[in-house]
Amino acid sequence: MSVDDQMGLIKSICPRASIEFRTQHIEGASKWYVSTPGLELARDGMLGSIGSNGDSPEGAVAVLYANLTDTSSVFKKDNRRYLRWTGYMFDEALRPEAQQ
């Protein structure tokens, strides 16, 4: 899948997603990242940020794409929807706590 296709998939669940260059040096952080306002992962009943750092714009998109598609649930904070990657698309899912 091309980087454009990966970014298209990311924008389908986070329309404000954008590739950003880190202007300030942060120890151990890569120069590029994908900003995903309002999108958080739901893991073990807690919400957390999604890793999206890379040494190039393409690398940052690839990392975020891998994190989204290898995760069982994604919480989209803007409208409180839980989504699950089915292997080819995102689909509505129950809250992680409700699945147990």
| pLDDT of 84 over the 90 cut | no
pLDDT of 72 reads: 66
Give pLDDT, residue 28.
66
What is d(CA 68, CA 39) in angstroms, rounded to the nearest whole number?
10
Please report which confidence band the pLDDT of residue 77 belongs to, taking 50, 70 and 90 as the band edges.
low
Residue 100 lies in a domain: no
pTM above 0.85, yes or no: no
| Average pLDDT over all residues of the chain | 83
84 found inside a domain: yes
Domain count, the chain: 1
Give the span between the Cα atoms of 47 and 44, in whole angstroms: 8
Domain interval for residue 17: 3-22+29-95
pLDDT reported for residue 9: 92
What integer is the mean pLDDT of 14-25?
A: 87
Q: Is residue 41 situated within a structural domain?
A: yes
